[in-house]
Amino acid sequence: MRVHDCHLTPPLVLAPATSLSAAGRLIALQGVSHAVVVDHGRLVGIISTRAIGAAQPSAATTLTMGEVRGRLTQIVVADVMTRDPLVVSPTTPLQDAVRLMRDARVNVLVVCDQDRVRGLLTANDLLRVLLATAPIAANP
């Protein structure tokens, strides 16, 4: 099995200059856990809901709600994203992708075909592959 044989999560694509508040809203709207950051057609990073959550100030901040909101519109995705995410090609054997994800302790790989982002391969996508493999289904 190759990467392109499994269902890939369609990517939510953001520009590096997208504000953090807009990125948070878009990600929530799409119900995804990650978005890819693409600059002039080139993949530059990946941003997760976890990274956006971690960028929010704590409850003990001395800023007012309004100030926090204002600052979050000034902070851009490029400040918070993970640069150089792990990339696989659509024809990468699936076991190589699984091994990469497991050993690098990440939950997502970006699937790129000659610099073009084709989709995201998430741990949940891979669990669905495991769900579909016969032996488990045969002995529930």
Q: Which residues bind another protein (CB under 8 A)?
A: 1-2, 5, 33, 49-51, 53-63, 68, 71, 75, 79-80, 91, 93-95, 98-99, 101-102, 105, 107, 123-124, 126-131, 133, 135-137, 139-140
Compute the least distance from the CB of residue 124 to another protein, in Å.
5
How does 105-135 read in b/e, with b if 16+ C-beta sit within 10 Å? ebbbbbbbeeeebbbbbbeebbeeeeeeeee
Q: Which residues does residue 116 pair with via DSSP β-bridges, in sequence order?
A: 113
Give whichever of 51 and 86 is closer to another protein, judged by the CB atom. Answer: 51
Compute the least distance from the CB of residue 46 to another protein, in Å.
15
Compute the least distance from the CB of residue 100 to another protein, in Å.
10
Give whichever of 62 and 66 is closer to another protein, judged by the CB atom. Answer: 62
Give whichever of 5 and 39 is closer to another protein, judged by the CB atom. Answer: 5
Compute the least distance from the CB of residue 12 to another protein, in Å.
16
Task: Report the alpha-carbon distance of residue 47 to residue 85 in Å, rounded.
Answer: 9
